[in-house]
Amino acid sequence: MISEKHIPTIETASPSEGVPAVRHSDQYTWEGVDIHPYKETGTHFKSIHRQTIFKGGDDLSVEFRYFEIAPGGHSTLERHQHTHLVMIIQGSGHVLVGDKVTEIGMHDVVRVGPLTWHQFRATKGEKLGFLCVVSTDRDKPQRPGPSEVEELNETPEVAEFIRV
Amino acid sequence: MISEKHIPTIETASPSEGVPAVRHSDQYTWEGVDIHPYKETGTHFKSIHRQTIFKGGDDLSVEFRYFEIAPGGHSTLERHQHTHLVMIIQGSGHVLVGDKVTEIGMHDVVRVGPLTWHQFRATKGEKLGFLCVVSTDRDKPQRPGPSEVEELNETPEVAEFIRV
């Protein structure tokens, strides 16, 4: 017999009402989660979309986002005060972090610290999909100006890699 | 020619000195990351180990941990004020969250809210491996006392599932 009494659950113990405890995934989509364009406008990114899987709450003010870049695509070259923690969960590619370009593949973890230039590219003929954790409260990204692009281009490996 | 000048990198722009930007993964292990027992002592868990892949810093005070449960194993039945955000990245199994037992598989996401009983079990003859994001600053888990176990057992599905 199922009792009327309940142990504390998300619904009663937390302010995140209506948020399910489990979001099932199917082929890199998640129940109840919409697929969005990466950004509203711009020509500084290519063939990328995003899903916000969970927005944080309670003591954990972070978001779980999933980004997927089609072969040949890339994210915006940008930097910001807030930190990214990323885990690759599909495919492979390369990432620029600071002045280093690194090959990345399944389950590699990338940490992008404050004010660090970064760009993800699906360079290897397959998709590059990654979970990205960020603070809910975060600043807007900055794109490089002409003098910053010039500075980035001083490292040949970076000059060859970046798409602005 | 590589310039002496550098754009801001993790080393210069962030207090997280010595933390690499990328930790490569190989078969659910990560460069420079040790594999630890799940907890120091106890009989309330079985066949589980953990790795702390990244400790947060700067504006993102969270940790990226990886837990792996061997077939037939389980985590501790517990609850705490802090929130878990989990993504399954290997195998499948079941999870208890509150008073619901749910089958979980690849890339499913689990949110465990404050003071919500939870337990992960590798019930399906394969490993269950998951990324777990928590706040760096968090409270200690509580295990259920006799009256709480009794209350949990009022839901037959929960009674059948839990290992205490």
pLDDT tens-digit series, residues A133-149: 999 999 999 999 999 99
Q: Which of B1, B11, B135 sits opposite A60 (nearest CB)?
A: B135
Under CATH, to which class is B34-161 assigned? mainly beta
Write out chain B residues lying below 8 Å of A87, CB-based.
64, 89, 131
A59 pLDDT band (50/70/90 cuts)?
A: confident
- Burial letters for A14-45: b for 16+ Cβ neighbours within 10 Å, e otherwise? bebeebbbbbbbeeeebeebeeeebeeeeebb
- C-alpha–C-alpha distance, residues B3 and A109, integer Å: 28
Task: Please report residues of B whose CB lies closer than 8 A to that of A22.
Answer: 95, 97, 102, 104, 108-111
Instruction: Categorize the per-residue pLDDT at A20 as very low, low, confident or very high, splitting at 50, 70 and 90.
Output: confident
pLDDT at B5: 38
Residue B54 clears pLDDT 80, i.e. is over it: yes
pLDDT at residue A55, as a whole number? 85
CB B103 within 8 A of CB B122: no
Mean of pLDDT over chain A: 88
How high is the pLDDT of residue A17? 58
Residue B16 banded pLDDT, cuts 50, 70, 90: low
Q: How many CB atoms are closer than 10 A to CB A7? A: 20
- For the cut 70, the answer to whether the pLDDT of residue A126 exceeds it is yes
CB-based contacts of B45, cutoff 8 Å, min separation 6: B38, B39, B73, B74, B75, B76
When mean pLDDT is compared across A56-65, B6-15, B61-70, the lowest value belongs to B6-15
φ/ψ of B161, rounded to 5, equals -85, -45
Dihedral Cα B161, B96, B109, B39, nearest 10 deg: -90
Residues of A in contact with B54 (CB under 8 A): 85, 109, 111
**Whether A155 and B2 lie within 8 Å, measured CB to CB:** yes
- The answer to whether the beta carbons of residues A95 and A163 sit under 8 Å apart is no
User: How far is B46 from chain A, CA to nearest CA, in Å?
Assistant: 23
Which residue is it, tokens 């000059």? A159
For B126-151, how does the pLDDT look when each residue is reduced to its tens digit (9 = 90+)? 999 999 999 999 999 999 999 999 99
Mean pLDDT of A95-122: 97
Length of chain A: 164
Neighbours of B51 (CB within 10 A): 16
Mean pLDDT of chain B: 88
Residue range B87-92: mean pLDDT, rounded: 98
Alpha helix segments (H runs only) across chain B: 10-13, 146-152, 156-161
pLDDT in tens, B106-126: 999 999 999 999 999 999 999
A61 pLDDT above the threshold of 70:
yes
Query: Which of A60, A82, A103, A115 is the best substitution to test chain B (most B C-beta atoms within 10 A)?
Result: A60
Residue A95 near residue A110, CB atoms below 8 Å:
yes
Is the predicted pLDDT of residue B160 greater than 60, yes or no? yes
* Among chain A residues, CA nearest to B19: A111
Q: Which of A11, A22, A115 sits opposite B102 (nearest CB)?
A: A22
The domain A31-161 having CATH identifier 3.40.50.1820: the answer here is: no
The pLDDT tens digits for B62-71 are 999 999 999 9
A16: confidence class by pLDDT, cuts 50, 70, 90: low
Q: Is the pLDDT of residue A122 over 80?
A: yes
Positions of B annotated as catalytic residues are 132
Which of A95, A104, A132, A134 is the catalytic position? A132
Q: Which residue has the tokens 């590619």?
A: A93
pLDDT top residue among A17 and B120: B120
State how far the Cα of B119 lies from the Cα of B98, in Å rounded to an integer: 9
Of A13, A82, A99, the CB nearest to B59: A82
- Tell me the pLDDT band of B15, cut-offs 50, 70 and 90: very low
